[in-house]
Amino acid sequence: MNTKTFFLVFCLTIVVLGIVTSSASADNSTVTTTPTSTPTTATPTPTTATPTPTTATPTPTTATPTPTTATPTPTTATPTPTTTTTATTTVVPAPVFSSILPTSGTTAGGTSVIITGSGFTGATAVSIGGVAASYTFVSDSEITATTPAGTAGAVNVVITAAGGSVTGTGAFTYIAPTTTVTTVATATPVIPVVGSVSLASGTTLGGTLVTITGSGFTDLTTVMFGTTAATSYTFNSDSSISATSPTEAVGTVDITVVTPSGTSAKSTADEYTYTTATTTVPTVTAISPTYGPVSVATPITITGTGFTGATGVTVGGTAATSVVVVSSTEITATTPASSTAGQVDVLVTTPSGTSTALAGDEYSFAATATTVPLPLFTASPMSGLAPLEVTFTDESTGSPATWSWSFGDGNTSTLENPTYTYMSNGTYSVTLTEENSLGQNATTDTDYIIVGGSGPAADFTATPTSGTAPLTVQFTDTSTGSPTTWLWNFGDGTTGTDESPSHIYTSPGVYSVSLIASNSEGSTTFSQPDAITVSSVTPTVAETYTPPPTAADTFVIPAGTPQASDSSSAAWLAQENAKSAALAVTATPASGLPPAISLIALVCVALFFRKKYQ
């Protein structure tokens, strides 16, 4: 073996020795880690704790004698309740009779009585006059019973209960029924007398409701105003009658009451004066109820004015029946039957004329409902200048019987298809509420009717739209439609009213801007989100120089070592130094010895190849 071979083997041996030593160090570190001792040390903990329940076990064992020692106490007290129980069980109080109410009844029986006393608990029988009576145990002190039939006279009442029997001697008396003969005397005829009238005058048209007060009005036959019978009258009592005056000529007449006994005598107390009627055309303002089944005659009450002397009522053009003029403001009538469903007008006719069809005089002949109505409607036109006349058309489903419109300006209508005029500019929501025999529903169309001009179209520009704070921005109004007022919102909590304002933004941020432009016909709003961006001044950052990291370890060729004559050895050495530096930065040795051996081995290898290639 030559010197070079020997040298190479020597170097490789040292390298292997370094590797083995490193592995051994790593294995030793693993074996001696502290976690191994942790479970060993913790093991005694449960072992030491084990005696605790063992030591505690005697506690219940020791306590056991306590209830055993206490046992004689209740044993000694036992005789007391035993003696008391025996007395209570064997002693049952005898019943005591106190009273029976009522104390008498007919021999036919059937009188309900209440028997009072004590000791009735466990009652088994009640007899009255020796005959068993049906009874009900109410309490220890009360029994209710029904008397059986008996013989006239006082009889005993006997109650049998758990404690024995008790007798109420002669406590109840049977009374034989008596026959009463009533002699009817011949009545003396009573002639009616009129003492006063509630109204002393009325128009020649009649129809005035007058209350007549007096006596002897029983079996009333008729009421006369002069020589003309009252249109209608109501018997209230023997001393009161209500009558409606008939038509009559101007003048004073006597109101007389007629019965089978005769006619009331005339006096100043019964005088009634007819006056010239003022011509007043009737007006119908309400109908109740507002609807009824189709093909069915329905009683209704008509409210309004000018009903005095009414001569007729029509419902949808057909005469109503059973018309009664209650007063100048009220009429009762019965609608005719109709074969057609729909809403019609109820009109009243008097000598002064016939009422005009108005909202409020409607009555509906309702079709048979199968579901609650669903209000739907249209309007034409839906917008325009004031005054704006709009016709609403009902297009509902579900057979509505009534209609209630709200036009959004405080006014309403009960017509099925109303026409309404809006007098003021604005935007109006319309609501329709409908009802039938099954229920009610409502529908609202929001901002449905628009009355007035469209107003200006708001718009603007801004210059600049971005920059650093403080930033001055010039806003320019570019609205159309001749606005006369402006309201700016700059987005930073401030506003302005100039046509084209200049505004300074003092804080960084992104701002949305809006403009409301208005004139006499309306207003519109234009908003521009994130219109202005304001940033802060950017500070200058000083440049700094950080030197590159220095390798911890480098290879150094000892002095006197032969150097390569060409650059290849220097290049190779530089490369090896770089590798060594990398290892010095990243490696974490397990102990101090293996890295030293590895370094020596690498130097030897380097020297070997250097000699080889020289």
Instruction: Provide the CATH number for the domain formed by 377-451 in this structure.
Output: 2.60.40.10
- Domain residue spans of the chain: 1-29+550-614, 96-174, 193-275, 283-366, 377-451, 460-535
Among the residue ranges 16-30, 161-175, 371-385, the one predicted with the least confidence is 16-30
Phi/psi at 13 (5° precision): -60, -40
Phi/psi at 238 (5° precision): -65, -15
CB-based contacts of 513: which residues, under 8 Å, 6+ apart? 460, 462, 475, 488, 489, 490, 491, 527, 528, 531, 532
**Homologous superfamily in CATH for domain 96-174:** Immunoglobulins (2.60.40.10)
Give the tokens for residue 173: 């008396």
For domain 283-366, give its CATH number from 3.30.565.10, 3.40.1410.10, 2.40.160.20, 2.60.40.10: 2.60.40.10
* Strands of 131-132's sheet in order across: 104-106, 164-175, 153-161, 125-128, 131-132
The pLDDT of residue 497 is 96
CB-based contacts of 459: which residues, under 8 Å, 6+ apart? 477, 478, 479, 480, 515, 517, 526
Contacts 24+ apart (CB under 8 A), 110-113: 110/146, 110/147, 111/146, 111/147, 112/144, 112/145, 112/146, 113/144, 113/145, 113/146, 113/147, 113/172
Q: How many CB atoms lie within 10 A of CB 484?
A: 11
Give the tokens for residue 391: 């016709």
Contact 191, 219 (CB under 8 A): no
pLDDT category at 71 given cuts 50, 70, 90 is very low
460-491 pLDDT per residue, tens: 999 999 999 999 999 999 998 889 999 999 99
pLDDT category at 352 given cuts 50, 70, 90 is confident
554-613 pLDDT per residue, tens: 444 445 544 544 455 555 556 656 655 554 444 444 444 455 565 666 666 666 656 555
Residue type, 79: P
374-386 pLDDT per residue, tens: 999 999 999 888 8
What is the distance between the alpha carbons of residues 70 and 51, in angstroms, rounded to a whole number? 32
CB-based contacts of 420: which residues, under 8 Å, 6+ apart? 389, 390, 392, 405, 407, 411, 413
Measured distance between the N- and C-terminal CA atoms of the chain, rounded to whole angstroms: 21
Residue type, 500: S
What is the distance between the alpha carbons of residues 525 and 513, in angstroms, rounded to a whole number? 11
Contact 431, 444 (CB under 8 A): yes
Residue type, 276: T
Contact 351, 276 (CB under 8 A): no
**Homologous superfamily in CATH for domain 460-535:** Immunoglobulins (2.60.40.10)
Q: 283-366: same fold as 96-174? A: yes
The pLDDT of residue 605 is 60
pLDDT category at 268 given cuts 50, 70, 90 is very high
What is the distance between the alpha carbons of residues 453 and 464, in angstroms, rounded to a whole number? 34
The pLDDT of residue 47 is 35
Displacement of CA 351 from its chain's centroid (Å): 55
Architecture of the domain delimited by 193-275:
Sandwich (2.60)
Displacement of CA 460 from its chain's centroid (Å): 46
